């Protein structure tokens, strides 16, 4: 607790906690709207332009730099938020060794983030 810094190494938890917090904010603000629009309104054609779900439309969005940032934020931060929640829950339930749990939660979020970045770059501008 107290004492010189060498007895009290700084935790790296803030990195994951801030990603968790950012993900919570993004998912609370945009999650329900996204589910409503892409899951219900667009497939049933309710109040949404027909071209909304077209391949060209989606591709143009994913090629736009701001579109890329939006996709990365929504996909990656949702995963980091879920990873932290799941990790703490599994840890509290003593579901397995800490390293396994971290790989299964933070590891998945990191892999998804890297894959998203890679795909967004590969899809071109």
Partner 1 sequence: MPDPAKRELRILRYQPGVDAAPAFGTFWVENAENLSVLEALQSIKDTLDGSLAFRWSCRMAVCGSCGMMINGAPKLACSTLLRDLPPGPVTVEPLNNFPIERDLVISVGGFVKKIESIYPYIIPKEPRTIAQGPYLQTPAQLAAYESFSDCINCMLCYAACPQFGENPDFIGPGAMALLQRYNGDSRDAGRQKRLDAIHGEDGVWSCTAVGICSEVCPKSVDPANAVNQNKTNSAFDFFLRFLRKE
Chain residues in the site for partner 1 (CB under 8 A): 1-2, 5, 8-11, 13-15, 17-18, 21, 88, 91-92
Q: How far is the CB of 93 from partner 1 (least distance, A)?
A: 11
Contact by Cβ (8 Å): 112, 76: yes
Q: In 3D, which of 51, 53, 21, 23 has the Cα closest to residue 37?
A: 53
Shortest gap between Cβ of 96 and partner 1 (angstroms)? 15
Nearer to partner 1, 101 or 120 (CB): 101
Residue (17 or 52) nearer to partner 1, CB: 17
CB closer to partner 1, 14 vs 39 = 14
Q: How far is the CB of 98 from partner 1 (least distance, A)?
A: 11
């Amino acid at each position: 607790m107290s004492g010189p810094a060498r007895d009290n190494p700084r935790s790296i938890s803030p990195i994951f906690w801030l990603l968790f917090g950012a993900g919570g904010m993004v998912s609370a603000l945009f999650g329900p709207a996204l589910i409503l629009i892409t899951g219900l309104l667009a497939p049933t054609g309710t109040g949404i332009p027909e071209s909304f779900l077209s391949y060209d439309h989606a591709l143009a969005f994913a090629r736009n730099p701001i579109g890329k940032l939006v996709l990365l934020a929504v996909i990656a931060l949702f995963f980091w938020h879920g990873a932290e929640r799941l990790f703490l829950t599994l840890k509290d339930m003593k579901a397995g060794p800490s390293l396994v749990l971290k790989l299964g939660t933070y590891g998945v979020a990191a892999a998804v983030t890297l894959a998203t970045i890679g795909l967004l770059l590969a899809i071109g501008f």
